[in-house]
Amino acid sequence: TRIKGDYRYEIGDLASTLNYMADEIIRSNQIKDDFISSISHELRTPLTSIKGWSETLVSGGYDPEETKLGMGIISKESDRLIGLVEEILDFSKLQQNEMKLSMGRVDIKVLLQETILNIWAKAEKKRIHLLLECDETFFIKGDANRLKQVFLNLVDNAVKFSPEDSSIVLSAQRLTGSELAVIVRDSGIGISEAHLGRVRDRFFQVDALNGGTGLGLAISQQIVELHGGKLEMDSELGKGTQVTVILPMTEELPPEAPQAENLL
């Protein structure tokens, strides 16, 4: 009868939905397992170095130069650990909708200059030139520290995936209407079309051997979205990558205007 047929159809439908859900659960568990193993490795590497150097220094007998070198490595590796833990905490805050923005009037040009200064030494090690193209002053309403975190993450990726002696360009330009585009462009290894759609997924990395957590772009995209903006990516394998952050702009205030929060 028809009723029997309908039931059969519904049961068949239900079974395929359940199968699909089971596959999704297995897939997301696999992603989490991969993340836990990659994050454990990321945490262990600096910890091993800190432990090794501190034991060496405690055992004594080193000249001041060697001691300074060891202390320098301990400090650098501790920073790396703090960075990793902060990234995981930020991600968890965003997941639970608990990231609070401290909004103020942000001068984008100043923020990009600060970003370049922060990452200068790292780029210098690969003789990478960091160029800023921003003729105008743009203001947006946002959380300066969080936006700097986004730009630092984008430039950090650009440095990581660019060859020595190359250039990275940061630029800011007005789009139509009251939108601003901040662009980070590199001429590095690029991302294939197949991977481009996934690099902003949490935990995703094209190659786990490159280090990192696979959280940077997911966090950056969510911070940009909390500002009412969006993050777009274009890339070509072997040619380079361009990340565009589009943000809503506030009206420009005259230079003499007081920069009070309530004027925004």
Residues that bind ligand ADP (CB under 6 A): 153, 157-158, 161, 186, 188-191, 199, 204-207, 210, 212-218, 241
Q: Which amino acid is at 7?
A: Y
- CB 13 to ligand ADP: min, Å: 37
Find out whether 159 and 119 touch, Cβ atoms under 8 Å. Answer: yes
- CB 202 to ligand ADP: min, Å: 8
- CB 27 to ligand ADP: min, Å: 18
- CB 149 to ligand ADP: min, Å: 12
Give strand pairing partners of 167: 129
Q: Which is nearer to ligand ADP, 52 or 211 (CB)?
A: 211
Q: Which is nearer to ligand ADP, 153 or 222 (CB)?
A: 153
Q: Which is nearer to ligand ADP, 145 or 210 (CB)?
A: 210
Burial class (CB within 10 angstroms; exposed 0-12, middle 13-18, buried 19+) of 245: buried
Q: Which is nearer to ligand ADP, 10 or 207 (CB)?
A: 207
| Distance from C-alpha of 246 to C-alpha of 180, rounded to nearest angstrom | 6
